[in-house]
Amino acid sequence: MAKLTKRSVDALKSNAKSEAFIWDGELRGFGVRVKPSGSKAFLIQYRNAENRTRRLVLGPYGVLTVEIARDMARQRLTEVAQGKDPSAERQAVRAGMTVSEICDWYLEAAEAGTILGRNRRPIKASSLQMDRSRIATHIKPLIGSRLISGLTLGDIEAMQADIAKGKSVKAAKKKGRGGRSKGGAGVASRTISTFRALLGHAARHNIIETNPATGVRQLAVAKRKRRLGAAEIGRLGATMREAMENGEHPTALAAIRLMLLTGFRRMEVLGLQAQWVSRADHCVYFPDTKSGEQVRVVGEAAIECVEAQTNGSPSRFVFPADIGTGHFIGVVRVLSRVCAQAKLEGITPHVLRHTFASIAGDLGFSELTIAGLLGHAARGVTQNYIHLDAALVVAAERVSREIATILDGGQGSLSVIHIRRPSGHRVDDAVEREAEKERMGA
């Protein structure tokens, strides 16, 4: 066997059915393992004082270089020669780790960027903030002192039931923003999702042997169905105009309008920068969203809303903060006040996004088109507009124009007719014809 090198480790291919190994020809017992998933890790294999074969994982390839791993292996194998059993010692340490300690490890490693989340990228700060809140509010108070080695699937599902019943709800109001934490099926299900994920990271990084949350069943959560109908949009628009005259914050009101006209998420609107918006391309170029880098098509009404905000503004943000150089953040409070005046209940920024999607559906657009407008689709939008992207531009224009008309007190098509689509007919077909005219310069 030859000496392990970076080239030989890079050349090691995974086997779909089993783990594969290559061993160092210079240091006996030192090698690298590749799992069927393709992940590679350095390890040592030895016999302990009882003549039992043991393996000890040193760390993942990429985090450790071949040279560093060889030095670690030499140190551990020296301990074996002295009568120690490093694998048993590590298992003893792991067996004594509590849930709180595993959670602390996860937060520290995630902040350092050594844990990869969605799309094989470091976990976003916003996601990590939510994880931290769930850990502190629900996981640690309920099972933080439990040993990982004794944790069962039943224990985790019991924690989920306790969260749903509100047992982890704090008696006193939290300091700062957010108020009192709440229980419920949605909170419980999302907390279990966070817990299962962090345990999975711990197992993958060899901090724990196995993930005790594998196979856990999360509570079913009813989908949010609240949306604004045409009459409610009109009432909201009238109330917003009245609120503007009475001194309500103009930046917040403009942000609410843009949410309705685009279906953008709250932070996508509040963090929007003027340089990302292209009137010529009918697009907003987001360098980062919940799903990564995206390009979203928008209608003329949305572009006009943005330009009204950025005209003469020195800030890079479309919706700048009143103090400092950041962006505005107080839209939820203003939305609550306006909706209370309009006698509209249960309205959140997500409801505005759902309303945009629902109006698009009412106008006859397909789920594929709506997914593209909302940024759910995996495909991107090219600057020169391929066939479907041109159709998306037309769709965004129709939806935003419909909402703007109703919002401004006019009679949109949905206010005066009930759309019915004959079997086999899609409004998307008409949109495609309009898009074809646009591409041909008609």
pLDDT recorded at residue 383: 38
Considering the domain architecture, whether residues 245 and 381 belong to the same structural domain is answered as yes
Segment 195-208 shows an average pLDDT of 90
pLDDT recorded at residue 390: 78
Segment 406-429 shows an average pLDDT of 59
- Confidence band of 439 (pLDDT split at 50, 70, 90): very low
Determine which helix (DSSP H) or strand (DSSP E) holds 30, and give its type and residue range: strand 30-34
More confidently predicted of 266 and 89: 266
Which whole-number Å values give the CA distances from 111 to 28, 63, 64, 123, in the listed order?
37, 16, 19, 8
- Confidence band of 182 (pLDDT split at 50, 70, 90): low
Is the pLDDT at 279 greater than 60? The verdict is yes
- Confidence band of 242 (pLDDT split at 50, 70, 90): very high
Considering the domain architecture, whether residues 279 and 350 belong to the same structural domain is answered as yes
Question: Residue 122 corresponds to which tokens in the numbers above?
Answer: 């470091």
pTM: 0.62
Q: Can you name the residues that pair with 41 across neighbouring β-strands?
A: 33, 60
Cα 254 from Cα 241, distance rounded (Å): 11
Considering the domain architecture, whether residues 365 and 276 belong to the same structural domain is answered as yes
User: In the chain, pLDDT over 90 holds for what percent of residues?
Assistant: 56
pLDDT recorded at residue 442: 46
In this structure, what CATH number is given to the domain that contains residue 44? 3.30.160.390
Determine which helix (DSSP H) or strand (DSSP E) holds 90, and give its type and residue range: helix 86-95
- Phi-psi sector, 366: left (phi>0), alpha (psi -120 to 50), beta: beta
Segment 156-172 shows an average pLDDT of 83
Domain assignment present for residue 419? The answer is no
| Range in 36-45, 50-59, 88-97, 204-213 with the lowest mean pLDDT | 88-97
Considering the domain architecture, whether residues 48 and 64 belong to the same structural domain is answered as yes
Range of the domain at 67: 6-95
Domain assignment present for residue 441? The answer is no
Cα 402 from Cα 415, distance rounded (Å): 10
Segment 224-249 shows an average pLDDT of 93
Give the pLDDT confidence of 28-43 residue by residue, as tens digits: 999 999 998 889 999 9
Local structure of 397: helix, strand or coil: helix
pLDDT recorded at residue 95: 64
CB 273 within 8 A of CB 316: yes
Is the pLDDT at 172 greater than 50? The verdict is no
Q: What is the secondary structure of 365-385 as a DSSP string?
A: --HHHHHHHHT-SSS---TT-
Considering the domain architecture, whether residues 239 and 335 belong to the same structural domain is answered as yes
In this structure, what CATH number is given to the domain that contains residue 333? 1.10.443.10
Give the pLDDT confidence of 214-230 residue by residue, as tens digits: 999 998 876 668 899 99
Mean pLDDT of the chain: 85
Cα 251 from Cα 270, distance rounded (Å): 10
Domain assignment present for residue 344? The answer is yes
210 secondary structure, DSSP code: S
- Phi-psi sector, 48: left (phi>0), alpha (psi -120 to 50), beta: beta
Domain assignment present for residue 427? The answer is no
Considering the domain architecture, whether residues 31 and 123 belong to the same structural domain is answered as no
Of the three residues 95, 117, 138, the one that is the final residue of a domain is 95
Of the three residues 55, 76, 95, the one that is the final residue of a domain is 95
pLDDT recorded at residue 181: 59
- Confidence band of 293 (pLDDT split at 50, 70, 90): confident
Domain assignment present for residue 244? The answer is yes
Which range is most confident: 82-86, 171-175, 236-240, 410-414? 236-240
- Confidence band of 289 (pLDDT split at 50, 70, 90): confident
Is the pLDDT at 384 greater than 80? The verdict is no
Considering the domain architecture, whether residues 289 and 393 belong to the same structural domain is answered as yes
Domain assignment present for residue 47? The answer is yes
pLDDT recorded at residue 6: 93
pLDDT recorded at residue 69: 94
Q: What is the 3-state secondary structure (H, E, C) of 218-231?
A: CCCCCCCCCCCCHH
Q: Which residues contact 262 (CB under 8 A, 6 or more apart)?
A: 269, 284, 296, 298, 299, 302, 356, 396, 400
Considering the domain architecture, whether residues 237 and 117 belong to the same structural domain is answered as no
Considering the domain architecture, whether residues 247 and 194 belong to the same structural domain is answered as no
Segment 197-221 shows an average pLDDT of 88
Of the three residues 95, 129, 153, the one that is the final residue of a domain is 95
Domain assignment present for residue 214? The answer is no
Domain assignment present for residue 433? The answer is no
Cα 230 from Cα 362, distance rounded (Å): 11
Is the pLDDT at 179 greater than 50? The verdict is no
Question: Residue 252 corresponds to which tokens in the numbers above?
Answer: 């917040």
pLDDT recorded at residue 78: 93
Considering the domain architecture, whether residues 149 and 267 belong to the same structural domain is answered as no
pLDDT recorded at residue 321: 93
- Confidence band of 386 (pLDDT split at 50, 70, 90): very low
Q: Which residues contact 437 (CB under 8 A, 6 or more apart)?
A: none
Is the pLDDT at 167 greater than 60? The verdict is yes
**What domain count does the chain have?**
3
Cα 314 from Cα 185, distance rounded (Å): 45
pLDDT recorded at residue 421: 39
- Confidence band of 290 (pLDDT split at 50, 70, 90): confident
Local structure of 273: helix, strand or coil: strand
pLDDT recorded at residue 436: 52
Considering the domain architecture, whether residues 193 and 313 belong to the same structural domain is answered as no
Considering the domain architecture, whether residues 186 and 238 belong to the same structural domain is answered as no
